[in-house]
Amino acid sequence: MATGVLSVLDISCEQGEHTITNALTPVRGIKNMCVRIPDKQVHVDYDETQVRIDQMKEVLQEEDYPLKSVA
C-alpha cells in the first residue's frame, strides 16, 4: 500500500470535493482518500500494483482539476 498527496490547483469548495471524490472513487486500486479543501490537497492510499499516480492525474485532469504537484 502506498500513500500520495496530490496538490490540486483549483479546489476551493465542497463542489470540487464531491467532483474529485466521485471521479477517484471508482478507480481500481484506490483504497482510501481524503480531500482537504483548505490545503488544496487530496490524500490517497492506493495499491500501486493496480493504479499509478499518473492515472489519478489523468482522471483529475479530465474533471478540470489539474495537479500542481505530487508528494
Burial degree of 8 (CB within 10 A; 0-12, 13-18, 19+)? buried
What pLDDT is attached to residue 10?
87
Whether domain 2-70 has CATH 3.30.70.100: yes
Show me where the domains of the chain are located.
2-70
What pLDDT is attached to residue 14?
94
Distance between CA atoms of residues 8 and 29, nearest Å? 20
Each residue's pLDDT tens digit in the chain (71 positions)?
Answer: 999 999 998 899 999 999 999 999 999 999 999 999 999 999 999 999 999 999 999 999 999 999 998 88
* pTM recorded for the entire structure: 0.91
What pLDDT is attached to residue 69?
86
